[in-house]
């Protein structure tokens, strides 16, 4: 693993947003679903997913769900249930209350928090169908109070017959109410516009291929969407007390995701730098996904040696990584200085997979330097807020002159008159009291 200067290193990678041809294909699919509904949905499911269905077969039945439960190991069901309980407990802490302020002049101001009514979660087929990602998308919505959570996923997963039973079980454990066997841009369009079989949603989330991503962009505004996830990243900040075997294993757990994934060590210790470099090579050769991990390490991996921990933290803040592990003597002491990191793992036992699968915080985290301004998926992503104003007559009359002055300053006489018409009537009424 190469040792580089901090200044040379930039974590940002170019993320593909699709070719003109792909955009055109997606626009056509979305337009057809909007115009024809189920008919187009079934047609594209046949032509693109090679599955001929009737409208009545789109929804996954209870019997299929029961069958899925019987096809997976009991230990998997237990593991998913345990992870789901932790994820639920963590996200429960993020719930917020509506509030109101009662003013001495009789007015009331407030903020109402409501869950979205209906959310669609896309789950890709193929190798990227991760049960853990189902939990991470569904549970925050459920904790937010979203009454209707819908999953869509291609009719066959990873070359198998039908939908992967592990995905079905994870969705059921997470609390999905409805599941449909549709995928691709056609599924996104069905969620956004609604068809006879699939009622439209308020928000669509979950990862997918480039056609899914482009379709989400296409329908954004009509519904909300989550943000586009880039390739995954880890930065490990380590001093001389860090265990190089742990550091190397954690770097590789990220690198094995994707050839575009990035794994970076920032360390104050030359010894740790060299040891980790050698250890990465040793562990790499033993990994089933060696080719992917090696490409990631060679193209987007780096070891950066800094003169001090403060300098190392400055590098971290510049990189703004998705995942940050802090393996130094007193990790909590760094927290005040770490400005930009999506998820922070402290100490030797907080290996990133602890968070990917189990601890409770969400594993959908801002990538590609966007932790500077973005946040992990959470309950806030599934609520909406309404402001509330109830002014009393007293409050209106007391502040009318100020409001009218501001409105007239902006040339909006109609705004001023909406106040004035009340002052003329109520002010007079008050004088007559």
Q: Residues within the annotated binding site?
A: 122, 186, 209, 232, 254, 257, 323, 356, 410, 415
Window contacting a second copy (CB under 8 A); options: 21-29, 60-68, 71-79, 179-187: 71-79
Q: Which of 322, 325, 352, 363 is catalytic?
A: 322
Quote the least distance from Cβ 56 to a second copy, whole Å: 28
Are the C-beta atoms of residues 62 and 196 closer than 8 Å to each other?
A: no
Phi-psi region of 369 (alpha: psi -120 to 50; beta: other; left: phi over 0): left
**Of residues 5-34, those binding a second copy (CB under 8 A):** 15
Q: Which of 233, 279, 323, 363 is catalytic?
A: 323
Q: Is 430 in the site for a second copy (CB under 8 A)?
A: no
DSSP secondary structure letter of residue 3: E
**Of residues 217-276, those binding a second copy (CB under 8 A):** 221, 223-224, 228, 243, 245-246, 249-250, 252-253, 255-257
CA distance linking residue 132 with residue 12, whole number of Å? 26
What is residue 240's three-state secondary structure?
A: coil
Window contacting a second copy (CB under 8 A); options: 22-30, 61-69, 288-296, 304-312: 288-296
What tokens were used for 358?
């189990």
Q: Residues near 44 by Cβ (< 8 Å), separated by ≥ 6?
A: 29, 32, 33, 184, 185, 186
**Of residues 172-211, those binding a second copy (CB under 8 A):** 202-203
CA 16 to chain centre: 18
322 an active-site residue?
A: yes
Site string for a second copy, 318-347 (x = CB under 8 A): -------------xx--x--xxxxxxxxxx
What are the E-state strand segments in 118-172? 118-122, 148-152
323 an active-site residue?
A: yes
β-strand partners of 110: 100, 388
Return the H-helix or E-strand segment holding 304.
strand 302-305
CA 182 to chain centre: 21
Instruction: Closer to a second copy by CB, 262 or 350: give it.
Output: 350
**Of residues 48-67, those binding a second copy (CB under 8 A):** none
What is residue 383's three-state secondary structure?
A: strand
CA distance linking residue 375 with residue 354, whole number of Å? 19
Interface residue with a second copy, options 97, 288, 428, 432 (CB under 8 A): 288
Quote the least distance from Cβ 84 to a second copy, whole Å: 11
Binders of a second copy: how many residues, by CB under 8 A? 120
Annotated binding-site residue numbers for NAD(+): 122, 186, 209
Annotated binding-site residue numbers for Zn(2+): 254, 257, 356, 415
Q: Is 412 in the site for a second copy (CB under 8 A)?
A: yes
């Amino acid at each position: 693993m190469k040792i580089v200067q901090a200044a040379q290193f930039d974590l940002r990678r170019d993320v593909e947003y699709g070719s003109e041809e792909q955009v055109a294909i997606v626009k056509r699919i979305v337009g057809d679903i909007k115009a024809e509904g189920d008919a187009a949905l079934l047609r594209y499911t046949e032509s693109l997913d090679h599955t001929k269905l009737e409208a009545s077969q789109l929804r996954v039945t209870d019997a299929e769900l029961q069958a899925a439960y019987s096809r997976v190991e009991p230990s998997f069901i237990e593991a998913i249930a345990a992870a789901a309980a932790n994820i639920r407990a963590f996200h429960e802490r993020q719930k917020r209350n509506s509030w109101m302020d009662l003013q001495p002049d009789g007015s009331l101001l407030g903020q109402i928090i409501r869950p979205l009514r209906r959310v669609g979660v896309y789950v890709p087929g193929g190798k990227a169908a991760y049960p853990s990602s189902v939990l991470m998308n569904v549970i925050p919505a459920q904790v937010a109070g979203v009454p209707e959570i819908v999953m869509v996923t291609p009719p066959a997963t990873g070359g198998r017959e039908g939908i992967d039973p592990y995905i079905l079980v994870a969705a059921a454990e997470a609390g999905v109410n409805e599941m449909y066997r549709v995928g691709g841009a056609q599924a996104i369009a069905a969620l956004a516009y609604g068809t006879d079989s699939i009622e439209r949603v308020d928000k669509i989330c979950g990862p997918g291929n480039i056609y899914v991503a482009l379709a989400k962009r296409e329908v954004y505004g009509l519904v909300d969407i989550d943000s586009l996830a880039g390739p995954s990243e880890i930065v490990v900040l380590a001093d001389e007390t860090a265990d190089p075997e742990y550091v190397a294993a954690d770097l590789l757990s990220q690198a094995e995701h994707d050839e575009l994934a990035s794994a970076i060590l920032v360390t104050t210790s030359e010894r740790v730098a060299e040891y980790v470099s050698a250890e990465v090579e040793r562990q790499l050769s033993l990994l089933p996904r060696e080719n992917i991990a090696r490409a990631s390490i060679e193209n987007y991996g780096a070891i950066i040696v800094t003169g001090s921990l403060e300098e190392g933290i400055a590098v971290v803040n510049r990189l703004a990584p998705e995942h940050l592990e802090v393996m130094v003597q007193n990790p909590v002491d760094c927290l005040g200085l770490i400005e930009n990191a999506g998820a922070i793992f402290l100490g030797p036992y907080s290996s990133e997979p602890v968070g990917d699968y189990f601890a409770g915080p969400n594993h959908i985290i801002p990538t590609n330097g966007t932790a500077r301004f973005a946040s992990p998926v959470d309950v806030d992503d599934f609520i909406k807020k309404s402001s509330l104003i109830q002014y009393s007559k007293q409050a209106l009359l007391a502040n009318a002159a100020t409001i009218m002055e501001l409105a007239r300053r902006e040339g909006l006489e109609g705004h001023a008159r909406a106040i004035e018409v009340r002052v003329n009537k109520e002010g007079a009424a008050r004088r007559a009291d």
